Chain A
Amino acid sequence: MPVSGNKTAPSEKPASQFWHSAAQLRHVREVNVLVALIIVGALISLFTPYFLTTNNLMGVSRAFSLTAIMSIGMVMVIITGGIDLSVGSAMGLAGLVTALCFDAGFSSAISVSAGIGVGMVFGVTNGLLITAIGLPPFIATLGTLSIGRGLMYMITHGVPVTPDTPESFSVLGQGYLGPVPVPVVIMLVLMVVFALIMTRTRFGRHVYATGGNEHAARLSGVKTDRVKLAVYTLSSTIAALAGIIGFSRYLSAEPASGFGSELDVIAAAAIGGASLAGGVGSVTGAVVGAALVGVIANGIVLLNINTYAQQAITGGVILIAVSLDVIRNKLKGGSG
Chain B
Amino acid sequence: MRTLTKIASAAMVSIAMVTGTVAFAQDITIAVVPKVAVPFFDDCNTGAQEAATALGVKYQWVVPQNTQGATQVKIVEDLISRNVSGIAISVNEPKSVEGIIKQAMDAGIKVVTFDSDSANSGRSLYIGTINKQAGVTMGNSMAEALGGKGKIAIVTGQLGASNLNERIDGVKEALAAFPDIEIVATEGTEDDLAKAVSVTEALLRGNPDLSGIFGMSQVGGPAVAKVLAQKEFADRKGVIKVFAFDDLPDTIQGVKDGYINGIMVQRPVTMGRLAVESLVAQIKGEAGELADIDTGVTVVNADNIGDYTK
A-B complex: 3 closest residue pairs judged by Cβ atoms? A158-B38, A301-B202, A63-B198
Give the contacts of A245-273 with B (CB-CB under 8 A): 246, 249-250, 252, 254, 256-257, 259-260
A260 near B193: Cβ-Cβ < 8 Å = no
The count of A-to-B residue pairs whose CB atoms sit within 8 angstroms is 83
Q: Which residues 160-218 in B have Cβ within 8 Å of A in the complex?
A: 184-188, 190-194, 197-199, 201-203, 205-208
Q: Tell me the complex Cα distance, A56–B206, Å.
A: 9
**Contact, CB under 8 Å: A304 / B206:** yes
| Cβ–Cβ contact A160 & B205, under 8 A | no
Q: Are B232 and A260 in contact (CB under 8 A)?
A: no
On A, residues with C-beta under 8 Å from B are: 48, 50, 53, 55-56, 59-60, 63, 66, 157-160, 162, 246, 249-250, 252, 254, 256-257, 259-260, 297-298, 301-304, 307-308, 310
**Taking the nearest CB of chain B, how far is it from the CB of A71, in angstroms?**
15
* Mask: chain B, 122-164; 1 = CB below 8 Å from A; 0 = not: 0000000000000000000000000000000000100100000
In contact, A250 and B194 (Cβ under 8 angstroms): yes
A-binding residues in B (CB < 8 A): 36-39, 156, 159, 184-188, 190-194, 197-199, 201-203, 205-208, 219, 222, 226, 232, 248-250
A160–B249 CB distance below 8 A = yes
Taking a contact as CB atoms under 8 Å apart, the answer to whether A307 and B206 are in contact is: no
User: What is the distance, in angstroms, from B249's C-beta to the closest C-beta of chain A?
Assistant: 6
- Tell me, rounded to whole Å, the shortest Cβ–Cβ distance linking A240 to chain B: 16
- Take A157-B37, A162-B250 as given contacts and tell me if A246 and B194 are in contact as well, using a CB distance cutoff of 8 Å: yes
Contact A159 B39 (CB under 8 A): yes
Answer whether A301 and B159 are a contact pair too, CB < 8 Å, given A160-B248, A246-B194: no
Residues of B within 8 A of A302 (CB): 202, 205-206
Write out the residue numbers on chain B whose beta carbons fall within 8 Å of the beta carbon of A310: 188
Residues in A with CB closer than 8 Å to B248 are: 159-160
Q: Which residues of B contact A307 (CB under 8 A)?
A: 156, 159, 185-188
Chain B residues positioned under 8 Å from A301 (CB to CB): 185, 187, 199, 202-203, 206
Identity of the chain B residue whose Cβ is nearest the Cβ of A176 in the assembled complex: B231
Please tell me if the beta carbons of A260 and B37 are within 8 angstroms of each other in the complex.
no
Residues of B within 8 A of A257 (CB): 192-194
A303 touches which of B36, B37, B206, B232 (Cβ 8 Å) = B206
Interchain CA distance A102-B254 in the complex, whole Å: 22
B184 and A304 form a contact (CB under 8 A): yes
Given contacts A63-B201, A66-B194, A301-B199, 10 further A-B contacts (CB under 8 A): A50-B205, A55-B232, A63-B198, A249-B194, A250-B194, A252-B193, A252-B250, A302-B206, A307-B186, A307-B188
- Return chain B residues, CB-CB under 8 Å to A246: 194
> Can you name the residue of chain B whose Cβ is closest to the Cβ of A308?
B159
Contacts of B193 in A (CB 8 A): 250, 252, 254, 257
Q: A48-B206, A302-B202, A307-B159 are in contact. Are A157 and B185 (CB under 8 A)?
A: no
Task: Take A162-B249, A302-B205 as given contacts and tell me if A260 and B222 are in contact as well, using a CB distance cutoff of 8 Å.
Answer: no
Q: Which B-chain residue is minimally distant from A298 (CB atoms)?
A: B202
Q: In the assembly, what is the distance between CA of A55 and CA of B156, in Å?
A: 24
CB neighbours (8 Å) of B222 from chain A are 160, 250, 252
How near does chain A come to B97, taking the closest CB pair, in angstroms?
21
Using Cβ atoms and an 8 Å threshold, which residues of chain B touch A162? 249-250
Query: Which residues on B sit within 8 Å (CB–CB) of A256?
Result: 191-192
Q: Among A55, A66, A158, A297, which residue has its beta carbon within 8 angstroms of that of B205?
A: A55
How many angstroms from the CA of A142 to the CA of B302 in the assembled complex? Answer: 45
- From B199, which residue of chain A is reached at the shortest CB distance? A301
**A56 CA / B203 CA spacing, docked (Å):** 11
A215 to B138, CA, bound (A): 63
**29 A-B pairs, CB-CB below 8 angstroms?**
A48-B206, A53-B205, A55-B205, A59-B201, A60-B198, A63-B201, A66-B194, A157-B37, A158-B36, A159-B38, A160-B250, A162-B250, A246-B194, A249-B194, A250-B193, A250-B197, A252-B222, A254-B192, A256-B191, A257-B194, A260-B192, A298-B202, A301-B185, A301-B203, A302-B206, A303-B206, A304-B207, A307-B185, A307-B188
Contact residues in B for A252 (Cβ distance below 8 Å): 193, 222, 250
Q: How far is the CB of A69 from chain B (nearest CB, A)?
A: 13
Q: Which residues of B contact A250 (CB under 8 A)?
A: 193-194, 197, 222, 226
Q: Which residues of B contact A55 (CB under 8 A)?
A: 205, 232
Chain A residues with CB under 8 Å of B208's CB are 50
Q: Which residue of A lies closest to B160 (CB)?
A: A308
Q: Are B39 and A157 in contact (CB under 8 A)?
A: yes
